[in-house]
Amino acid sequence: MAPDMGTTVETERGLVYGPSGKQLDVYRPAEAPRPAPTVLLWHGIGPDERDVLEPLASTAAAHGLLVLVPDWRSDAADGGRAHLLESLAFARKEAGGLGGDGESFVLAGWSAGAGAALGVALRPESVEGWRPRAVVGLAGRYDLQARTTGAAPLADLDAGREPGVPVHLVHGSRDPVVEARYSRDLAEALRAAGRTVPLQEPDTDHAGVIMTAYDPATDRCVPTTAEHAVRAGRAVAEVLTEAAGGGGAA
């Protein structure tokens, strides 16, 4: 799907990001000032589905962001932890050379990727004390173990851990796969701890929040031009842009 901002987006595909040999794709705005605000965007539980996030990544790049989208495998022996953390290490080391910011960037995820992203902020010791600039969670569950840390984000919050950075949430109000109440529960827990947590619930479903539709024939999410999905994806791109620019309350 083409971006909607009138900005040319350059795509670099298939960069190997670590010892696992897994690959990621880079989306960047052409002729943008560098370093561009940067987002590392994790897909959901389907193994090696970085292509599923292309519509959203392209739209976000058209807003001026450098977006890195890696493959990872939830069916790996460790649940995908090594792949996710390898991609994070790559972003920290290499984003600068790709036109972005490797020191301070947004960590975002869809579905299972959302809890994985928040887990890093709650347990920075898992990544040498590093925290992202912000976390953006899309259609996630936070009562399950994060793939990055092995601990449920809600349990970490209950135990007194703090994400330490802004958290932005988006969840389709018609999501039948991961109900919107899971994001509401997280927002309530964070607000109880004194944090301001923007939560948007666009009128779309689990796939629509990333500008896709579920295709039963292939068991994958594919690009769609459905108005509800396009509208939701544009809203998510704006959230990513705000988070990457330092918007939101810590």
Residue 4's pLDDT is 47
Residue 34's pLDDT is 82
Query: How far is residue 132's CA from residue 92's CA, in Å, rounded to a whole number?
Result: 10
- Quickly count: other Cβ atoms within 10 Å of residue 131's Cβ: 17
153-192 pLDDT per residue, tens: 999 999 999 999 999 999 999 999 999 999 999 999 999 9
- Beta strand 199-200 with 167-170 is parallel
In whole numbers, what is the pLDDT of the chain averaged over residues? 94
- Beta strand 66-70 with 134-138 is unpaired
Once rounded to an integer, what is the mean pLDDT over residues 37-49?
98
Written as six digits, the tokens of 172 are 């389709």
**Terminal CA-to-CA distance of the chain, rounded, Å?**
33
- Which segments of 77-216 does DSSP mark as H helices, in order? 81-94, 112-122, 153-158, 181-192
Whether residue 1 has pLDDT greater than 80: no
128-138 pLDDT per residue, tens: 999 999 999 99
Of the candidates 210, 219, 197, the one whose C-alpha atom is nearest the C-alpha of residue 56 is: 210
Once rounded to an integer, what is the mean pLDDT over residues 12-24?
97
Once rounded to an integer, what is the mean pLDDT over residues 72-78?
98
* Strand ranges of the sheet holding 199-200, from the earlier edge strand across to the other edge: 9-16, 23-29, 66-70, 38-42, 106-110, 134-138, 167-170, 199-200
CATH class for domain 9-244?
alpha beta
pTM for the complete prediction? 0.95
Query: How far is residue 100's CA from residue 208's CA, in Å, rounded to a whole number?
Result: 27
